[in-house]
């Protein structure tokens, strides 16, 4: 075998090996992305399982007449790959907070709840409630089939350019102390 042939064989081998490694890495990456978007993964931290998950089990997004479920990531993770990966990078903070025990008891979680909820509301408002709309599209929503109260509110909301989360807060989890947001609807013992 000539030297030239040897070199070209080596090149092909490297190329092939690189390809295989690449495919394996891609598969691992996609697999991880898929697994880390599963409910099982989300509630593997007790902060999620004991608080938000327990509350969610009591709502229509967990159990309803038709048996269709929306799980954590249906509402809290974009379908867009780039944004999905971006969210995973942000989640590094969640890992740090988990290990520093920021919300490791129910009391601590409740103390932090307003801040956490406001962050999620802001995200949903910024995307015009995109994750809500991946199931509930405005175009396919037949207002005439809704209750008269719901129909009136939806038409009004649409006219005022509102987005889902503006009204539908605390739908799948309990609300934080809403004193600063709607004082007229919170118990006031001192006033």
Partner 1 sequence: MKKVLLILALSCIAMPLHAEEVKSLRGTRDLDACSEPPQINRLIADDRPIPRDFVQQPPLIPHKKEGYRIDKNYNKCLSCHSWANYKQAKATKVPPTHFQDREMKERANLSPSRYFCTQCHVPQTDVRPLVDNEFEPVKALR
Give the residues lining the site for partner 1 (CB under 8 A).
58-60, 147-150, 152-153, 156, 170, 174-178, 182-189, 191
For the chain, what is the largest distance between any 2 Cα atoms, rounded to a whole number of angstroms?
Answer: 95
CB of 36 to partner 1, least distance (A): 29
Q: Which is nearer to partner 1, 53 or 77 (CB)?
A: 53
Closest CA to 70 of 83, 81, 57, 80: 57
Q: Which is nearer to partner 1, 115 or 149 (CB)?
A: 149
Going by the DSSP 8-state scheme, the letter that residue 142 receives in this structure is -
Q: Which is nearer to partner 1, 33 or 181 (CB)?
A: 181
CB of 174 to partner 1, least distance (A): 7
CB of 179 to partner 1, least distance (A): 8
Q: Which is nearer to partner 1, 41 or 62 (CB)?
A: 62
CB of 48 to partner 1, least distance (A): 20
CB of 26 to partner 1, least distance (A): 43
Residues 47 and 108 sit within 8 Å (Cβ to Cβ) = no
Residues 106 and 50 sit within 8 Å (Cβ to Cβ) = yes
CA distance 146 to 158: 15
Going by the DSSP 8-state scheme, the letter that residue 144 receives in this structure is G
CA distance 144 to 150: 10
Residues 128 and 166 sit within 8 Å (Cβ to Cβ) = no
Residues 105 and 145 sit within 8 Å (Cβ to Cβ) = no
**Is 190 strand, coil or helix?**
coil
CB of 162 to partner 1, least distance (A): 11
Q: Which is nearer to partner 1, 37 or 163 (CB)?
A: 163
Q: Which is nearer to partner 1, 59 or 78 (CB)?
A: 59
């Amino acid at each position: 075998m000539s030297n030239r042939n040897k070199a070209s064989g080596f090149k092909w081998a490297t190329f092939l090996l690189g390809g295989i490694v690449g495919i394996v890495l891609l598969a691992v990456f996609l697999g991880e992305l898929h697994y880390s978007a599963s409910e099982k993964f989300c509630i593997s931290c007790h902060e999620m399982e004991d608080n938000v998950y327990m509350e969610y089990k009591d709502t229509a997004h967990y159990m309803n007449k038709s048996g269709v479920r929306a799980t954590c990531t249906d509402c809290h993770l974009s379908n867009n790959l780039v944004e999905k990966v971006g969210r995973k990078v942000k989640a590094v903070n969640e890992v740090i907070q988990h290990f520093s025990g920021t919300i490791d008891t129910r009391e601590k979680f409740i103390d932090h709840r307003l801040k956490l909820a406001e962050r999620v509301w802001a995200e949903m408002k910024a995307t015009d409630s995109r994750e809500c709309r991946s199931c509930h599209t405005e175009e396919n929503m037949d207002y005439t089939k809704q209750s008269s109260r719901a129909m009136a509110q939806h038409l009004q909301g649409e006219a005022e350019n509102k987005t889902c989360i503006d009204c539908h807060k605390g739908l799948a989890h309990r609300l934080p102390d809403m004193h600063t947001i709607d004082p007229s609807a919170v118990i006031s013992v001192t006033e």
